C-alpha cells in the first residue's frame, strides 16, 4: 500500500534578542525564493479624555510616517539605497534584487512597511542594512513600539522587537544581512542613531556602517 503522506514540516519562528542577535539562513535552508521584510508599529502613548479621540484620529490619518529603507552592497562592488525618497523602489529581477512596496503611512492599521529580497540572487549580495527613518509625525522613535519580521519563502520566520528608544533618534538600523563565504546571516541591530544637525538619516546610517556613498537631497 502507498505510504501515508508525510506531515508538513512546521517551521518554528526564530526570535532574535540582544543575547542571541543573529541566525544563519544558510544553515537553516532558507536561502531561496523571496524573503519578505515587514516593519509594523504602534504608538505607545496612552491618551485620556478628549485626547483619546484626538489620538485615534491622528493614528487613523496616518500622521506618523515611517520609511523602511535598505542600503545594499553587491559582490561586484556596486552600492545603493532602496527607499521611497526619489522613487528608488528597487527591483527583484535585476540588481539590487530588493524591492520596496508602496509607501504606507498607517503602520499597525494595515500591513506596515514591506520590502522583499530575492534570495535566488543572494550570491550577488554582499551586505544589506535594513533601516527605518521617521519621515514625519514624530521627533523620534520614543513612544513607538516596533516589530520587525523577516519571512523567507523556504525557511522559518525571524522576528524581533526594537528596544525602547531613550534618545532623540530619527533613524534606526534594524537588521544587517551579510553573505560571507556563502553563509547568509541575519543579525538584529535594533540600533537607534541620532543624526548630527543638518545630516540626513541616510547619511547617518551610511557613516555608521561605512558605506561611503555620495548623497543628494530627495523628496517623495
What number is the average pLDDT over the span 176-188?
95
- State the pLDDT at residue 17: 95
What number is the average pLDDT over the span 15-43?
91
- State the pLDDT at residue 64: 65
Map out the domains of the chain with their CATH numbers: 22-209 (2.60.60.30)
Q: Residues in the chain, how many? A: 220
Q: How many helices (H) and strands (E) does the chain have?
A: 2, 13
How does residue 11 score in pLDDT terms, banded at 50, 70 and 90? low
- State the pLDDT at residue 136: 65
Which residues fall within 8 angstroms of residue 34, CB to CB, at 6 or more apart? Answer: 92, 116, 117, 118, 119, 153
Name which of 130-134, 141-145, 168-172 the model is least confident about. Answer: 141-145
Degrees, nearest 5: CA angle 62-89-176: 90
Separation between Cα atoms, residue 42 and residue 107, nearest integer Å: 7
SS3 assignment, position 38? strand
- Torsions phi, psi for 124 (to 5 deg): -95, -5
- State the pLDDT at residue 127: 97
Give residue-wise pLDDT tens across range 32-53: 999 999 998 876 654 444 344 4
Give residue-wise pLDDT tens across range 59-85: 433 456 788 999 999 999 999 999 988
C-alpha torsion angle, residues 208, 214, 120, 14 (rounded to 10):
20
Give Cα separations from 117 to 31, 33, 73, 77, 153 (angstroms): 10, 8, 13, 18, 10
- Which set of grid coordinates corresponds to residue 24? 544563519
Sequential DSSP letters for 126-139:
EEEEEEEEEEES-S
Give the β-pairing of 22-24 and 125-136: unpaired
Single pTM value for the model: 0.84
Separation between Cα atoms, residue 135 and residue 2, nearest integer Å: 59
What number is the average pLDDT over the span 98-117?
73
Amino acid at each position: 500500500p502507498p505510504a501515508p503522506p508525510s506531515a508538513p514540516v512546521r517551521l518554528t519562528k526564530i526570535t532574535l534578542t540582544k543575547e542571541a542577535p543573529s541566525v544563519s539562513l544558510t544553515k537553516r535552508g532558507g536561502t531561496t525564493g523571496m524573503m519578505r521584510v515587514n516593519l509594523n508599529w504602534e504608538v505607545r502613548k496612552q491618551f485620556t479624555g478628549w485626547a483619546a479621540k484626538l489620538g485615534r484620529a491622528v493614528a487613523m490619518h496616518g500622521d506618523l510616517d515611517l520609511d523602511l529603507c535598505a542600503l545594499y552592497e553587491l559582490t561586484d562592488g556596486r552600492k545603493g539605497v532602496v527607499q521611497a525618497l526619489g522613487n528608488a523602489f528597487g527591483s527583484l529581477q535585476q540588481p539590487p534584487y530588493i524591492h520596496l512596496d508602496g509607501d504606507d503611512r498607517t503602520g499597525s492599521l494595515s500591513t506596515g512597511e514591506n520590502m522583499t529580497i530575492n534570495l535566488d540572487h543572494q550570491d550577488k549580495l554582499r551586505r544589506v542594512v535594513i533601516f527605518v527613518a521617521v519621515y514625519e509625525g514624530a521627533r523620534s522613535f520614543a513612544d513607538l513600539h516596533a516589530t520587525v519580521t523577516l519571512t523567507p519563502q523556504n525557511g522559518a520566520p525571524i522576528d524581533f522587537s526594537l528596544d525602547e528608544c531613550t534618545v532623540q533618534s530619527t533613524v534606526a538600523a534594524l537588521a544587517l544581512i551579510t553573505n560571507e563565504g556563502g553563509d547568509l546571516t541575519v543579525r538584529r541591530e535594533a540600533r537607534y542613531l541620532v543624526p548630527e544637525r543638518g545630516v540626513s538619516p541616510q547619511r547617518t546610517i551610511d557613516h555608521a556602517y561605512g558605506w561611503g556613498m555620495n548623497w543628494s537631497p530627495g523628496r517623495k
